[in-house]
Amino acid sequence: MKKSKTLFLVEVALFSALAYVFDLLANIVSLKIWAQGGSISIAMVPIFLVAFRWGLKGGLLSGLLLGGLQVVTGQAYIAHPVQGLLDYFLAFTVVGLAGIFAKQIQLAIQNQSKSKVTTYVIAGTLLGSGLRFLMHFIAGAVFFAEYAPEGTPVFVYSFLYNGTYMLPAFVLSAIFVSILINTAPKYFNVTSAKLNF
> Burial level of 135, CB count in 10 A (0-12/13-18/19+)?
buried
Q: What domains can you pick out in the chain, each with its CATH number?
A: 2-195 (1.10.1760.20)
Q: What is the pLDDT along the chain (197 residues), one digit of tens a residue?
A: 677 889 999 999 999 999 999 988 887 776 556 556 667 889 999 999 999 999 999 999 999 999 999 999 988 888 899 999 999 999 999 999 999 999 999 999 999 999 999 999 999 999 999 999 999 999 999 998 888 889 999 999 999 999 999 999 999 999 999 999 999 998 887 654 455 55
pTM here? Answer: 0.91
Decide if 93 contacts 140 (C-beta within 8 A).
Answer: no
3-state secondary structure the chain: CHHHHHHHHHHHHHHHHHHHHHHHHHHHHCCCCCCCCCCCCCCHHHHHHHHHHHCHHHHHHHHHHHHHHHHHCCCCCCCCHHHHHHHHHHHHHHHHHHHHHHHHHHHHHHCCCHHHHHHHHHHHHHHHHHHHHHHHHHHHHHHCHHHCCCCCCHHHHHHHHHHHHHHHHHHHHHHHHHHHHHHCHHHHCCCHHHHCC
